Amino acid sequence: MKFLARPPRYLFFTGKGGVGKTSIACAAAIHLADAGHRVLLVSTDPASNVGQVFGLAIGNRIVPIAAVPGLSALEIDPQAAAQAYRDRIVGPVRGVLPEAVVRGIEEQLSGACTTEIAAFDEFTALLTDSAETAAFDHIVFDTAPTGHTIRLLQLPGAWSGFLESGSGNASCLGPLAGLEKQRTQYKAAVEALADPGRTRLILVARAQAATLREVARTHEELAGIGLAHQHLVINGVLPASLVEDDPLALAIVERERAALAAIPLKLRDLPRDSLPLKAFNLVGLPALRAFFGAGSAGAGQAEQGGEPPLAAPALADLAERIAVDGHGLVMLMGKGGVGKTTLAAALAVELASRGLPVHLTTSDPAAHLEETLSGAIENLTVSRIDPHAETERYRQQVLASKGAALDEAGRALLEEDLRSPCTEEIAVFQAFSRVIREAGNKFVVMDTAPTGHTLLLLDATGAYHREVARQMAPGLHYSTPMMQLQDPARTKVLLVTLAETTPVLEAASLQADLRRAGIEPWAWIINNSVAAAQPRSALLKLRARNEWVEIAAVADRHARRYALVPLQKREPVGLAGLRALCHPDRGNA
């Protein structure tokens, strides 16, 4: 395995939910410990299941893994870290500054930026050779800091003025408040990340075109800020030898071969490893120690017992209920790589096929709606919000208005503020607000950006709503985008996930965040379900059986209503392929 050859001290595993980065990070940590190294495994994943993998409680402290000599683990809780971070910043000024100013500071610290910065704050010490970690030869991180977080920390300007002014415009400077004392330590941490002698970034992906596009974007973003020493791991590749007499398995093998043959150019020169799909759940030491083996042990277990009855709603059932309204905003949200773009296109095509006017749009920089549709249909229009163009438009607008009255120093600080990554989110929000006005007389189906970006967009929505409410005279009628998102009669939010542990946990976390913003998700969509596709091969049958635990969790605990979309034999591209997602009997044979 190239990614474990001559490993540096720090190994970071990063990738979208459901690609297997936690399993690979745990297996890598065990592999290094078994080779005689002293290893600390650290999770910064909000949906961390490292403790579940090892079968013991870990939490926010270093815990030795007794069954693996030399291995210890630590789970950083980003939400708890964010709350502690907020308390540390707001506590000293509560009762000192006016209450309105304190509320403004708390608002600035309520978003996803703060959670990212707080998590980085927690593991900074782990990257700067603290006494706490001096005894370890290697530190293995499950989930790396995002390029978004690192760009925030690289902003060079005066952060400390935020508390005195109680403002920060609508950018990231709020979460950066009060960090002046840590800047030296943060700089050392970012330098450690960029040093190939100390750090290796391992990008984890699946052999799927959409997932590979996502990881290519991650690679480019991280390389662009100096984190260029990267390896690529393609996880879960179905071995051709295990196809048996299964048309679905054969179709998966052929599709994965095609995806790898067309791998994005940005990824082709990276050192690459490929790990075969396993039939067993990657929980417990025996499974983790077997993970890097060549076999697929456990496939035979699929023959034991009968198959659970399949009685889950289909995507067509959701489309039928949406169509009754005649118009409205339909937003698909979820982590990258779960199939939001394809499902948004499928719903748009289904609604347009019923004679309803539909505008399909995306704010996801990685979306490829035209390629997904690959054709035109009556009643359907398609657009894309270009983040780069919208950001430049917003920058010029702010510089021309707020910047006009500033002196040279003030304008320089404003320009720095506008270079922060959150500026893009605010700019996209403005374009998003223009589009959703159309939902009063047609369907607007929106494929949103990945979850972290979406939450930042919604933070901007909330701030805009509160500002309008403050400025309006009592008794006057007004409407804001946030009010539309909160109104179930006007907006239906659909959360997209996979029937796997991490994607379901991540979707549940997103649902909790949306509820805190007063937005109640209307339905969940479980995409690419092997169980719903009724496979024949022993390996896929066992994986199908494992899915039912997660499907039951969605149906019984998380969702008010849901739909199950089977894994397709053919790539769901083009109008026929998209229609097959709503009506599998028409195109999945």
Whether 406 maps to a domain, the answer reads no
Q: Given the residues 14, 15, 16, 20, select the one marked as catalytic.
A: 20
Same domain (yes/no): 121, 236: yes
Q: Given the residues 341, 502, 529, 537, select the one marked as catalytic.
A: 502
Q: Which two tokens stand for residue 139?
A: 């530190």
Same domain (yes/no): 249, 115: yes
Whether 299 maps to a domain, the answer reads no
Q: Which two tokens stand for residue 553?
A: 């969790």
> How many alpha carbons lie under 13 Å from residue 322 in its C-beta half-sphere?
34
Residue in the block written with tokens 């698909």:
332
Note the pLDDT tens digit of each residue in 54-65: 777 787 788 899
* 48 vs 20, higher pLDDT: 20
Q: Given the residues 45, 121, 273, 417, select the one marked as catalytic.
A: 45
Q: Is 273 a catalytic residue?
A: no
The mean pLDDT value for 468-474 works out to 63
- Which residue, 240, 271, 289, sits at the end of a domain? 289
Same domain (yes/no): 440, 516: yes
Q: Is 218 a catalytic residue?
A: no
For residue 526, name the pLDDT band (cuts at 50, 70, 90): very high
What's at 176, amino acid-wise? L
Contact 40, 133 (CB under 8 A): yes
Same domain (yes/no): 283, 323: no
* 211 vs 552, higher pLDDT: 552
Same domain (yes/no): 530, 567: yes
Whether 297 maps to a domain, the answer reads no
**Helix or strand holding residue 113 (H, E):** helix 112-123
- List 94's β-bridge partners, or say none: 97
Model confidence at 248: pLDDT above 90:
yes
* 257 vs 130, higher pLDDT: 257
Q: Give the neighbor-by-neighbor strand order of the sheet with 39-43.
A: 63-64, 71-75, 39-43, 138-142, 10-14, 199-206, 230-237, 272-276
Model confidence at 41: pLDDT above 70:
yes
- Least confident window among 47-56, 128-137, 187-196, 367-376: 47-56
Same domain (yes/no): 576, 534: yes
Same domain (yes/no): 274, 322: no
Q: Is 21 a catalytic residue?
A: yes
DSSP helix/strand/coil, 378: coil
Q: Given the residues 14, 16, 22, 339, select the one marked as catalytic.
A: 22
Q: Which two tokens stand for residue 444?
A: 């607007």
Classify residue 97 by its DSSP letter.
Answer: B
Same domain (yes/no): 267, 365: no
Determine the pLDDT at residue 66. Answer: 86
Determine the pLDDT at residue 329. Answer: 95
Contact 163, 101 (CB under 8 A): no
Q: Give the pTM.
A: 0.78
**Helix or strand holding residue 12 (H, E):** strand 10-14
Please classify residue 52 by burial: count the beta carbons closer than 10 Å to its beta carbon, then call 0-12 exposed, 13-18 middle and 19+ buried: middle
3-state secondary structure 329-364: EEEEECCCCCCHHHHHHHHHHHHHHCCCCEEEEECC
- Which residue, 225, 254, 289, sits at the end of a domain? 289
- Least confident window among 26-30, 329-333, 369-373, 513-517: 369-373
Whether 10 maps to a domain, the answer reads yes
Residues contacting residue 117 through CB under 8 Å, at least 6 positions apart: 85, 149, 152, 153, 175, 176, 179
Q: What angle do CA 159, 161, 164 make, to 5 degrees?
A: 140
C-alpha span between 406 and 414 (Å, rounded): 9
Whether 381 maps to a domain, the answer reads yes
Q: Which two tokens stand for residue 325?
A: 């309204």
- Least confident window among 33-37, 223-227, 234-238, 357-361: 223-227
Same domain (yes/no): 376, 244: no
State the DSSP string of 491-546: EEEEEEEESSHHHHHHHHHHHHHHHHTT----EEEEEEEHHHH---SHHHHHHHHH
Q: Given the residues 14, 23, 124, 372, select the one marked as catalytic.
A: 23
3-state secondary structure 259-322: HHHCCCHHHHCCCEEEEECCCCCCCCHHHHHHCCCCCCCCHHHHHCCCCCCCCCCCHHHHHHHH
Q: Which two tokens stand for residue 407?
A: 């002196």
Whether 307 maps to a domain, the answer reads no
DSSP helix/strand/coil, 562: strand
- Which residue, 289, 306, 328, sits at the end of a domain? 289
- List 494's β-bridge partners, or say none: 332, 523
Q: What angle do CA 540, 545, 550 make, to 5 degrees?
A: 115
Q: Is 133 a catalytic residue?
A: no
Note the pLDDT tens digit of each residue in 142-173: 876 665 566 555 554 444 343 344 344 444 54
Domain that holds residue 270: 2-289
Same domain (yes/no): 256, 355: no
Q: Which two tokens stand for residue 272?
A: 């690459």
Q: Given the residues 15, 17, 18, 462, select the one marked as catalytic.
A: 18
Contact 451, 115 (CB under 8 A): no
C-alpha span between 367 and 520 (Å, rounded): 25
DSSP helix/strand/coil, 17: coil
Determine the pLDDT at residue 454. Answer: 55
Determine the pLDDT at residue 413. Answer: 73
In CATH, what number is assigned to the domain containing residue 277?
3.40.50.300
* 161 vs 403, higher pLDDT: 403
Same domain (yes/no): 235, 324: no
Residue in the block written with tokens 């309803």:
356
The mean pLDDT value for 311-337 works out to 91
* 473 vs 84, higher pLDDT: 84
Q: Which two tokens stand for residue 350?
A: 């289904």
State the DSSP string of 182-206: GHHHHHHHHHHHH-TTTEEEEEEEE
Q: Which two tokens stand for residue 460?
A: 């901007």
Q: Give the neighbor-by-neighbor strand order of the sheet with 562-566.
A: 380-384, 358-362, 443-447, 328-333, 491-498, 523-529, 562-566
Q: Is 18 a catalytic residue?
A: yes
Q: Which two tokens stand for residue 15?
A: 């990738």
What's at 475, amino acid-wise? G
Determine the pLDDT at residue 121. Answer: 74
Same domain (yes/no): 236, 338: no
Whether 425 maps to a domain, the answer reads no
* Count of the separate structural domains present in the chain: 2
Of 107-116, 224-233, 416-425, 438-447, give the range with the top mean pLDDT: 438-447
Whether 392 maps to a domain, the answer reads no
Separation in Å, CA 364 to CA 336, 375, 409, 432: 9, 20, 35, 11
Separation in Å, CA 87 to CA 107, 120, 176, 185: 13, 16, 14, 21
Q: Is 364 a catalytic residue?
A: no
Considering the chain, what is the average pLDDT of its residues?
81
Q: Is 22 a catalytic residue?
A: yes
Model confidence at 302: pLDDT above 50:
no
Q: Given the residues 15, 16, 17, 21, select the one marked as catalytic.
A: 21
